[in-house]
Amino acid sequence: PQGDILDYIQKLDQNNYKYTSNFYWDIIFEMICGLLYFHNKGYIHFDIKPTNFLVDNNGYIKLNDFDLCHKIEELSFLDDINEGDSRYISKELFDNNDNISMSNIDNRSDVFSLGLSLFEILFRVNLPENGKLWREVRNDNFSVPQEFWKNIKIEKIDEFLKLIESMVTPVNKRYTLLQIIQEFPE
């Protein structure tokens, strides 16, 4: 009823909502829990993005759009997958077209996409579909472009950036959702 998470936040913006860190942590926690539940059922979503998180009338977040999901145990039998939106695709899925075996893909690809989704929500930016910034986001040393800082609606962004960085690092260093929850602020 409230649309996707971006629609919901846009409505709050229009009503001059006073954002707090707790507001964002609550949203992030619900997004992580929904995706963790899905992962615990043995699936990878492959299309995590803000528009696939819907908000109900009570403000609860619901994961949506399972058209591209696959069972983790079936990945080693696939030659290729239909991945989701290019703005959120992880580096290892992109590289998969070259040499990486599908058996090396796991649910940390969704974690990468969730990290970029959080980045988009917090910084109020539209991520690029390709180009220089698209490649920079997938490099080991990504930093937030200066022009993105103007849209921040909260004061304590450092903890959020630390979380996002743990989600968009190379797959061998990337946190799992369980690790993220264990380090989640109280």
Three-state secondary structure call for residue 44: strand
From residue 149, how far is each of 32, 80, 120, 121, 153 by CA, in Å? 24, 37, 12, 13, 10
Q: What is the CA radius of gyration of the chain?
A: 16
Res 5: pLDDT: 96
Position 98 scores a pLDDT of: 47
Angle at 158 between CA 155 and CA 162, to 5 degrees: 150
What residues are labeled active site? 47
Q: Judging by beta carbons within 10 Å of its beta carbon (0-12, 13-18, 19+), is residue 15 exposed, middle or buried?
A: exposed
Task: List CB contacts of 162: < 8 A, sequence separation 6 or more.
Answer: none
Largest interatomic CA distance in the chain: 50
Check: pTM over 0.95? Answer yes or no: no
User: Each residue of 20-54: pLDDT tens digit?
Assistant: 889 999 999 999 999 999 999 999 999 999 999 99
- Whole-number pLDDT of residue 99: 45
The pLDDT of residue 165: 86
CB 60 within 8 Å of CB 30 = yes
Mean pLDDT over 79-92 rounds to 77
Q: How confident is the model at residue 130 (pLDDT cuts 50, 70, 90)?
A: confident
pLDDT score recorded for residue 34: 95
